[in-house]
Chains A and B, each alone.
Chain A
Amino acid sequence: MGKELPVPEKTTSFIRREEHHPNTGVDSADNPQPPEPIPEDEDGLEPSDDKNDDVKDKEDHDHQEDENKEKNDVGEDHQETKNDDEEKEENKNSNDEETAPADAADQVVVDEEEDPLITLHKVNEEIDRFVSSSSSSSFHDGPDDPDENAVKTEVVPEFVGMFLDLVEDKAAKHDSIEGRVKWNQLPENGSLFLQTVDRLSKLNKTLCHMKLEEETRSSLINRVGSIQQRAMAYLEEEFRSLMEESKTDHHHHDSDPSGGDNNNNSKDRCQLSASESETTGGDEEEDDNFPGYSNDVVLNLNGIAKEMISGGYESECLEVYMNARRIAFEESLHRLGFEKHSIDDVHKMHWEHLEREISSWITTFKHCATVHFSSERKLAEAVFVDFPSISALIFSNLFKLVFVDLLSFAEGVSMSKRSTEKLFKTLDMYETLRDMGPKMYELFPEECANELKKETTSTRCRVGEAAIFLFCDLENSIKSDTGKTPVPGGAVHPLSRYTMNYLKYTCEYKDTLEQVFREHSKIERHDSTSRPHNYEGGETTNQNNDGDEKQSPFSAQLLRVMDLLDSNLEAKSKLYKDVALSSIFMMNNGRYILQKIKGSAEIHELMGDTWCRKRSSELRQYHKNYQRETWSKLLQCLNHEGLNVNGKVVKPVLKERFKSFNALFEEIHKTQSTWIVSDEQLQSELRVSISAVVIPAYRSFLGRFSQYLDPGRQTEKYIKFQSEDIETYIDDLFDGNPGMSMARRKQ
């Protein structure tokens, strides 16, 4: 029928600008049938409200009134109707009136002075009334109505055709090839257009329910459907361009983030960034780094989405939305510095490169967890505010896409070749997964959150296990350090330094490592054929043990490392031919280790006082060994025994004693002043203890026996050292000065 309608000149209308009396509009005489069946009885009114709700007529004007009016006569109450409708219409042309198309006989009154806007406005009103009343009558169509000449068919009022003409025209203009109208160029931010589309959709539904003569019905539906499709295609296109082209941070952040990223990277590159990274301002400055939209745009998107969905074009709308956001997501990951790598690549990547990528991953993951995901959800909720299940679905689908990539990277890192230096970054990742997880879970409905939790936990386990392996790899580093060259001078071995510094850093992650060892130290084999599901369980049971277990798995591992280091050092000490030097070596290293442990509260706590005490006493033992080795021989020279025979000092023996003392002491001085004790305290302890033993003995020996030597030449020959000299020479020991000789010293 619509097709047969005479199409008025496009920009004219049937409606006069001036006020008209209602009945100028529809000539009731020419209108043998009412435009729509009118429920005659009061019963018919009540379902009408329900029905309107079904159609999601959000214009809350009083249906009752409408119904009443229409009950009287569609044509006659325009004045009142119009006043009602004004409230929902855009207050324009409030005084205008509509003239309905003349009649079914193609006779149309065309008025030259008419304004298209007014026309549309008026036709709109008609359509609204028509839709709301028809929908109410669709269940109660009037077979009882005696006035209906054809019980089974209804007739579509003329203004439907006019409406369609106008809309078609409008849509075509918006969407023409040249001069396409962009959404923001539409009057009223497009709300008028949306209303029109809304009307169209409702009209479509209404017509589908009407009982019309078949051919009329289908051609009319065809027409409405066709126009609707065109309008929807326009909406879709505009929806897309709004989605893609109005992102807020699109441009002005383009230059920003590179600088920001570099900062973050350099921060993270420092190996001890764990505590630091929690306090960095990184998160704040990235806060707005979300490709979102201004409120206006969101409102527009929301309006379009609503029309598309209620008009049955939900799938198209969601496709556009998903695609646009997926791209935005990918772009923003890129801006955050996260690059996709296959697990295979990560697995093989050079550590330097991987280290950078891990930093970006951490930044990205944190940003996603704290900013991006929640903003994305908010956006979906705002655009699809009327359809919460849709927004939830969209968000979780989008999320899954990104998240698998993020987790895969972590899996890849956990598989990369093991080497000790990777531990700290790996622990950073572990902490990120651990701390950021809960922030994400709350964004999801329970079921989804559980799934997500399972995935995150599983990846976290992998990373945790990797961390354990990395830490345990320290054992291998220690074991494999089997060099056969002793460190000159018995100084601190590089292995001790490396191990202790490593442990010092490690212990800055003490709490995390404790957790990691508690939760992941055993790969459960029994469970291994199914997915790892019992980690959460493990967590809680282990926490119970926490209190009463004195030694945590981590500190056990730490002790194991220390023992290993110890035995390695002991083996190295055997490389020295001089037993005294072995002891010095052990003392040096032992002291170094002990100092390091005391210097770090974390390790100290982990190793415990008992261990430290045990260590100190071992050191004392080495000290004793040393003294015995070096100085007891010397002291034997000063032994009074054997010098007195029958109360007389045996001079040759005495001379021999002095000679050997001198030689021995010179030898010791020569050797041991090349030895190294770099710990000042230990050095002075050693000297003091040596002096304490040697000097009094020498002094007394000297006091007792020097008199037996003839003064002069003999004394000079045999008494080379005064006790003060001895003290001075002792102070030369352990300085690591190879060139030190007594001769030079004496000058």
Chain B
Amino acid sequence: MIDKNNKSATILMFHVHKNYGSKKALIDINLDVSKNELLFITGPSGAGKSTLLKLLYLGEPVSEGQILIDGMNLSRISRKRIPLLRRKLGIIFQDYKLIPTKTVFDNVALVLEAMGKKRQFVQKKVNSMLRTVGMEKRFNAMPQSLSGGEQQRIAVARAVVGSPKIILADEPTGSLDSESACVIFDLLEGFHARGGTLLVATHDEKLIRKTGCKVIHLKEGRQISK
């Protein structure tokens, strides 16, 4: 049972439904994710994993039900406050979503610049983040000149650089070889170890078994186990 007054929860979902016309993508999802929790969302393709994450970063509006993230009710959030919500989140996509016309440095710096951070701070923080993901030497490279694993490392750096409370990762290792997948997951675990909350949508069973963390299984839009 979900407790609406659960203050320690970072993410709360109450009877959430998502419909695309007559198609039901998510049906009655209830979820509470505590601070510093690592949660896997699994299920076959089309089960609704990506849709669930989209609802959390307001990439799509919910059709029914309510979502609370760090005290913000997403059903009542004004358009102006959406950027504030997204700054609490770091989002990682399977297709990386790096801006092709910006350098590695500028892609990562974008988050801090959008937050209005000072130039010196941005410089220092981005360089340190690129060192953490092992990409400091490629700071001036364009994304298309990097391998998939390297691009995903930049995407992780971008997700983490703004010190978000939560990271939402949508199939972060989906298109990577096992070696690159390990590097990415180690980086994400590093974020979790520093106290961050992590939601990972994946169907990489090896990854789930390796951590032994909480798992939600989705099938045809329904939550079938926790």
Partners in one complex: no
